[in-house]
Amino acid sequence: MAKFLTAALYKFVELSDFADLKAPLLDCCNHNNVKGTILLAAEGINGTIAGSSEGVHAVLAFLRCDARFADLVHKESFSEKAPFYRLKVRLRREIVTMGIPDINPSLMAGKYVKPDEWNKLLDDPDVVVVDVRNNFEVSMGTFAGAINPKTKSFSDLPEWALQEATLRDKPKVAMFCTGGIRCEKSTAFLRSQGFDEVYHLEGGILKYLETVPASESRWEGECFVFDERVSVVHELKLGNYQLCRACREPISEEDQASELFVLGVSCPHCHDSKTETKKQGFSERQRQIELAKGRNQTHIGARYDVKEKVDNGI
């Protein structure tokens, strides 16, 4: 049986005392040996944590003791390897960075669409479907026919949405992201701009992959996730992508077969941009990682929280 339970969670809710929540939450996670990243802001909570099943559920129970988190929803998956190597609880202006003030998803978000109803919406000729994730995520997998805004950061999305004429070509707009948080905020932004019929996939791609049978799925490719698993497929099984430790880009099986790929040192994305001195340093780090593995230890050079790469989106 898999050793580690990963729980992804978020909730938009007013937290005027969010700074006061940091210390007790850190204590609870440390006491239960739970790792990961949790963001707290005046607009709510956003995080992905991992550990033993007992430890993760203890942290979730602790959160739900606060009446504001009593109905906190989370998504679970299991893995053989630790998805995180350390714990961070951070205070932020936003739990997912859009950079637009006065957007309140708890009041303004679009209509939720259950995963088992999503295919029907995709088939609706009156719907424009938008993948609100960043371009490199979309390149790994998406729903057929979805528009790719080709953003580098989630904070680029509002400008794209204001300029994209195709959003007004049809009466309905449907948005999706990894776990729901970015599309929830995106639909709130569209509604603030006068869009009436706006929908988003409840639970995001992860809930769709978890609950919709592969035989009925419209998903194509793999889904980038914000931890050491890098990507998942249907039933949230581990995907085939790895993470280049030199440039921190996800790399496909094709990338890994390239002569430019050297484990821990370079990949086709960064081979030509790294100096020989850098490559020598990466090579030594990889050697230390392998030595640590031989001692059944985790080397600090292997630590990298993928989550922070993409605007802290889930």
Q: Which residues are catalytic?
A: 177
Q: For residue 250, which of 259, 261, 235 has the smallest C-alpha distance?
A: 261
Q: Bin 297: left if φ > 0, else alpha if -120 < ψ < 50, else beta.
A: beta
Q: Bin 230: left if φ > 0, else alpha if -120 < ψ < 50, else beta.
A: left
Q: Distance between CA atoms of 264 and 261, rounded to whole angstroms? A: 9
Cβ(311)–Cβ(153) below 8 Å: yes
Find the DSSP H helices in 212-273: 253-257
- What sign does the CA torsion over 147, 152, 157, 162 have? negative
Residue type at 194 in one-letter notation: G
Q: Which residues, other chains included, contact 287 with Cβ-Cβ below 8 Å and sequence gap of 6+? A: none
Cβ(25)–Cβ(89) below 8 Å: yes
